[in-house]
Amino acid sequence: MDVLPIQASAVPCERVFSSAKETMAARRNRIAPDLMEALQMLKYSVRNGHHLNFTAGTGWEAEVMEMDQHAGMLQQVPEDVHSFSETLYQSI
């Protein structure tokens, strides 16, 4: 009987644990599991060339409209801070 031995390899799994060890250093021993998962996913995506785009889904038109709204609010700023905070709460 001929048996062809195949060596088991767990290289991807070992990489995950090594990366987690880098993230969960002795100085960061209180990272919550959800945050740890998010950090690992972020590291994986950045290493694989998926760069972050914080402006995705926003166009300059929406930005200009938001700036116009804020400019309009600045013209309505009263002298009294309490009344200004009330107008802000009412606009929400």
Write out the DSSP string of 7-76: ----HHHHHHHHHHHHHS-GGGTT--HHHHHHHHHHHHHHHTT----TTTT--HHHHHHHHHHHHHHHHT
Residue 78: predicted pLDDT: 63
Asked, for residue 20, whether it belongs to a domain, the answer is yes
- Clarify whether residues 22 and 43 are in a common domain: yes
What is the rounded distance in angstroms from the CA atom of residue 11 to the CA atom of residue 9?
Answer: 6
Residue 39: predicted pLDDT: 87
Q: pTM of the entire structure?
A: 0.42
Residue 25: predicted pLDDT: 77
- Clarify whether residues 64 and 87 are in a common domain: yes
Residue 9: predicted pLDDT: 62
Asked, for residue 52, whether it belongs to a domain, the answer is no
Total number of domains in the chain: 2
Asked, for residue 3, whether it belongs to a domain, the answer is no
What is the rounded distance in angstroms from the CA atom of residue 75 to the CA atom of residue 88?
Answer: 13
What is the rounded distance in angstroms from the CA atom of residue 44 to the CA atom of residue 38?
Answer: 10
- Clarify whether residues 18 and 40 are in a common domain: yes
Asked, for residue 5, whether it belongs to a domain, the answer is no
- Clarify whether residues 15 and 39 are in a common domain: yes
Domain range holding 67? Answer: 60-91
Asked, for residue 54, whether it belongs to a domain, the answer is no
Asked, for residue 83, whether it belongs to a domain, the answer is yes
Residue 83: predicted pLDDT: 76
Amino acid sitting at position 22: E
Could you list the mean pLDDT of each consecutive 10-residue stretch along the chain, which spans 92 residues?
A: 62 73 77 87 84 73 80 68 77 70
Asked, for residue 53, whether it belongs to a domain, the answer is no
